[in-house]
Amino acid sequence: MEGREVVLPTVFRVALCGGTHGNELSGVYLVRERLKRKRKVEEEDHIYVVTVMSNPRAVQQCRRYTETDLNRCFTHATLSGPVTDKTPYEIVRSQELNTLLGPKGSPEAMDLVCDLHNTTANMGLCLIAYSDCDWISLHIYRYLQARENNPHRDSLFWMHFLIRVDLPYSLDSVGKHGFAIEIGPQAHGVVRSNILSTMQEGVQHMLEWIHLFNSGTQFEGGKVDVYTMVKNVDYPRDFETRGITAAIHPQLQDRDFCLLRPNDPVFQTFSGETLKYKGTEPLYPFFINECASTAS
Amino acid sequence: MEGREVVLPTVFRVALCGGTHGNELSGVYLVRERLKRKRKVEEEDHIYVVTVMSNPRAVQQCRRYTETDLNRCFTHATLSGPVTDKTPYEIVRSQELNTLLGPKGSPEAMDLVCDLHNTTANMGLCLIAYSDCDWISLHIYRYLQARENNPHRDSLFWMHFLIRVDLPYSLDSVGKHGFAIEIGPQAHGVVRSNILSTMQEGVQHMLEWIHLFNSGTQFEGGKVDVYTMVKNVDYPRDFETRGITAAIHPQLQDRDFCLLRPNDPVFQTFSGETLKYKGTEPLYPFFINECASTAS
């Protein structure tokens, strides 16, 4: 990129969403506190922020979702599907959110949608996006990394979610730019002060960058590390019952974004046997032991 | 107790229960593995063990419960109440379990009911009982502590759940003796190898002690530390919405069973203010930041 100057439109209309999964509480409380301070819509110089509680019913029940995972509903097909009395709540809600923040793919869509999540995995602060060449998002990431005295700079990651370009299904795909901020480890249904502070600082720095950018600040190019998702690895399962037969090996547990080499331990079966990584290529695992439950 | 010899009946019929809360997975997998090995009923010399998946519907959905908390159903009133088509599943199930393992308070009841739980709090391995003078349970606790090379000996606790003697409501109250084994920290819906191993070893040592006891081994008296529950401390809440307005203070988080002195930080409000412990008496907090969600 050196020497090449890119001029991009301002990022004026920003959506900040929490509670897309109702039991991931850092985003729920960050959004709730902003809304309490009457900041549902916040207009300052150069920036207009809409704060949204994405799935209020699931938040109320402290569950991931009530009928279907809201964060899988933002495909063009689901967003344009018919709605009847029997349509799951989350599909109805995805269409409401698409009206509020989109329509997805249209010129009216929000300039940036930032969706706040937690994970039970030890992933630090991780930005997750469908692209590895969205300059806006990558510059925000770089700004977060570069913040002086940032105690989290060694646990800041960019994860590129590789998926067919017409198929993004998550809420952040409604904006012209978008990413999820995923912070862990935190048990679902629990709020930890340190994790909430990390999220608050991340959001504050993101808004700072947008403010600077919209004010005409030029940002130098540079390099950032990007982790691209190449595959999901499921647990070993019983052939008949499909129940899992092993847990993450203690030597892998909590080592998200650390290099896993061929023959390193991956699983420990419930009978005590160690299962090793059989691939030939070193990989960086992430979302290690993320809560498998999709129902709670 | 020194010099006094107590002779107690054998502890022949033992129930080992997991999945009483369906998303506390160490007990679920420990029980499932035992059942897979055809050990639903296991009779060896001097001991007869029944292994039970307490709430199979909640386990299947990976939720704490489906309609009401099973582990609050074992009062005499609920166990003897009428059942109709509209009775919540867990109440029906509590009566089934009472038939299988009780009836509570009768001579036919199991000699010991051990119920396996997880907590998101950093409580190590904690035995929870309604009594602080049940010699059987206390000797098991002491045996677990004394195991040579026990890496968990510094994180082993006994918690005495102070409650009116006619009101115990948990599954372990169905046995003549009973306690819960509560192990954390582990997010609900997740299984961690180290936590599962700790539970497996705890159960194995418990069965070892029972075997020795039933074989006629005499055990010396001695002293153990017992933590008695004196009160629940709720989160600060918004007067109108009843939503929480603070998280556990970072200086208290994860410090279960560590002394909390007057004026030590307890909560950090979402606006950043520190709230201190206003009591006059030092206390040992536990179940710090246990998942507040009862619905998931």
Q: What token pair was written down for B17?
A: 């229960």
Q: Does A177 lie in the same domain as A38?
A: yes
Q: What token pair was written down for A31?
A: 């959004």
B214, amino acid identity:
N
Which residue of chain A comes nearest to B235, CA vs CA? A191
Q: Does B142 lie in the same domain as B277?
A: no
**What pLDDT band is residue A296 in, cutting at 50, 70 and 90?**
very low
Residue B133 has pLDDT above 60, yes or no: yes
Is A160 annotated as belonging to a binding site? no
Q: Which of A61, A55, A68, A63 is nearest to A18 (CA)?
A: A55
For helices B193-214 and B25-36, the axis angle rounded to 10 degrees is 60
Give the pLDDT confidence of A174-189 residue by residue, as tens digits: 999 999 999 999 999 9
Q: Does A254 lie in the same domain as A143?
A: no
Residue B5 has pLDDT above 90, yes or no: no
Q: Does B200 lie in the same domain as B123?
A: yes
Establish if B116 belongs to a structural domain.
yes
ipTM, two decimals: 0.84
How distant is the alpha carbon of residue B38 from its chain centre?
Answer: 25
* CB < 8 Å to A196, chain B: 247, 270
**What pLDDT band is residue B173 in, cutting at 50, 70 and 90?**
very high
Give the pLDDT confidence of B148-172 residue by residue, as tens digits: 666 666 678 888 876 665 688 999 9
Q: Does B181 lie in the same domain as B93?
A: yes
Q: Does B126 lie in the same domain as B253?
A: no
Report pLDDT for B10. 92
Backbone angles phi, psi at B56, to 5 degrees: -60, -30
Q: What token pair was written down for B157?
A: 């606790």
Give the pLDDT confidence of A201-249 residue by residue, as tens digits: 999 999 999 999 999 999 988 888 889 888 888 999 988 888 899 999 9
Establish if A219 belongs to a structural domain.
no
- Where residue B19 sits, what CATH number does that domain have? 3.40.630.10
Residue B294 has pLDDT above 50, yes or no: no
Return the SS3 of A157.
strand
Q: Does A265 lie in the same domain as A186?
A: no
Q: Does B259 lie in the same domain as B181?
A: no
**What pLDDT band is residue B296 in, cutting at 50, 70 and 90?**
very low
Contact A296/B23, CB-based, under 8 Å?
yes
Q: Which residue has the tokens 């950032």?
A: A224
Q: Does A165 lie in the same domain as A20?
A: yes
Sign of CA dihedral A68, A74, A77, A80: positive
Residue B295 has pLDDT above 70, yes or no: no
Burial class (CB in 10 A: 0-12, 13-18, 19+), A217: exposed
Our CA-based measurement puts residue A271 at a distance from the nearest CA of chain B, in whole angstroms, of 8
| Residue B9 neighbours by CB under 8 Å, 6+ apart | B111
Residue A60 has pLDDT above 90, yes or no: yes
Give the pLDDT confidence of A1-36 residue by residue, as tens digits: 456 788 889 999 999 999 999 999 999 999 999 998
* CB < 8 Å to A270, chain B: 29, 32-33, 196
What's the Cα-to-Cα distance from A175 to each of A108, A170, A230, A260, rounded to whole Å?
9, 10, 24, 34
Our CA-based measurement puts residue A22 at a distance from the nearest CA of chain B, in whole angstroms, of 10
| Measured distance CA(A22)–CA(A189) in Å, rounded | 8
B228, amino acid identity:
T
Average pLDDT for residues B67-85, to the nearest whole number? 95
| Measured distance CA(B139)–CA(B205) in Å, rounded | 11
Report pLDDT for A160. 81
Establish if A118 belongs to a structural domain.
yes
* Between residues B260 and A132, the one the model is more confident about: B260
| Measured distance CA(A54)–CA(A20) in Å, rounded | 5
Establish if B144 belongs to a structural domain.
yes
3-class secondary structure for chain B? CCCCCCCCCCCCEEEEEECCCCCCHHHHHHHHHHHHCCCCEEEECCEEEEEEECCHHHHHHCCCCCCCCHHHCCCHHHHCCCCCCCCCHHHHHHHHHHHHHCCCCCCCCCCEEEEEEECCCCCEEEEEECCCCCHHHHHHHHHHHHCCCCCCHHHEEEEECCCCCCCCCCHHHHCCEEEEEEEECCCCCCCEHHHHHHHHHHHHHHHHHHHHHHCCCCCCCCCCCCEECCCCCCCCECCCCCCECEEECCCCCCCCCCCECCCCEEEEECCCCEEECCCCCCECCCCCCCCCCCCC
CA dihedral of residues B148, B151, B155, B159 (deg, nearest 10): -40
Report pLDDT for B237. 93
Contact A61/B190, CB-based, under 8 Å?
no
Establish if B4 belongs to a structural domain.
no
* CB < 8 Å to A33, chain B: 270-271
Q: Does A68 lie in the same domain as A203?
A: yes
Which of A143-147, B52-56, B152-156: highest mean pLDDT? B52-56
Last residue of a domain, one of B183, B214, B245: B214
| Measured distance CA(A10)–CA(A47) in Å, rounded | 9
Give the pLDDT confidence of B229-259 residue by residue, as tens digits: 888 889 999 888 888 999 999 999 999 999 9
**What pLDDT band is residue B64 in, cutting at 50, 70 and 90?**
very high
Q: Residue B193: which of A120, A248, A293 has the nearest Cβ?
A: A248
CA dihedral of residues B59, B60, B64, B65 (deg, nearest 10): -110
Number of Cβ pairs < 8 A linking chain A and chain B: 117
Q: Does B238 lie in the same domain as B209?
A: no
What's the Cα-to-Cα distance from B211 to each of A208, B174, B217, rounded to whole Å?
65, 21, 9
Q: Does B207 lie in the same domain as B238?
A: no
Average pLDDT for residues B30-41, to the nearest whole number? 81
Is B117 annotated as belonging to a binding site? yes
> What is the pLDDT of chain B when averaged over all its residues?
90
Residue A268 has pLDDT above 90, yes or no: yes
Residue A40 has pLDDT above 60, yes or no: no
| Residue A51 neighbours by CB under 8 Å, 6+ apart | A15, A16, A17, A31, A34, A35, A39, A40, A41, A42
Instruction: Please state whether the peptide bond connecting residue A88 to the residue before it is cis, i.e. omega within 30 degrees of 0.
Output: no
| Measured distance CA(A232)–CA(A122) in Å, rounded | 17
Domain count, chain B: 2
Establish if B33 belongs to a structural domain.
yes
A267, amino acid identity:
F
- Where residue A272 sits, what CATH number does that domain have? 2.20.25.160
Residue A220 falls in the annotated catalytic set: no
Q: Where are the alpha helices (DSSP H) in A7-109?
A: 25-36, 56-61, 76-79, 89-101
What's the Cα-to-Cα distance from A202 to each of A19, A147, A186, rounded to whole Å?
17, 10, 16
Report pLDDT for B148. 60
Establish if B224 belongs to a structural domain.
no
Work out whether strand A47-53 and strand A156-160 pair parallel, antiparallel, or are unpaired. Answer: unpaired
Return the SS3 of A36.
helix
Could you tell me the residue range of the domain that residue A269 belongs to?
A: 235-289
Residue B76 has pLDDT above 90, yes or no: yes
Report pLDDT for B3. 64
| Residue A61 neighbours by CB under 8 Å, 6+ apart | A22, B295, B296
> Which residues of B are tagged catalytic?
182
| Measured distance CA(B16)–CA(B54) in Å, rounded | 10
* Contact predicate B26/B243, CB 8 Å: no
Percent of chain A topping pLDDT 70 = 91
Q: Which of B288, B160, B188 is nearest to B235 (CA)?
A: B288
Establish if B74 belongs to a structural domain.
yes
Residue A143 has pLDDT above 60, yes or no: yes
Is A211 annotated as belonging to a binding site? no
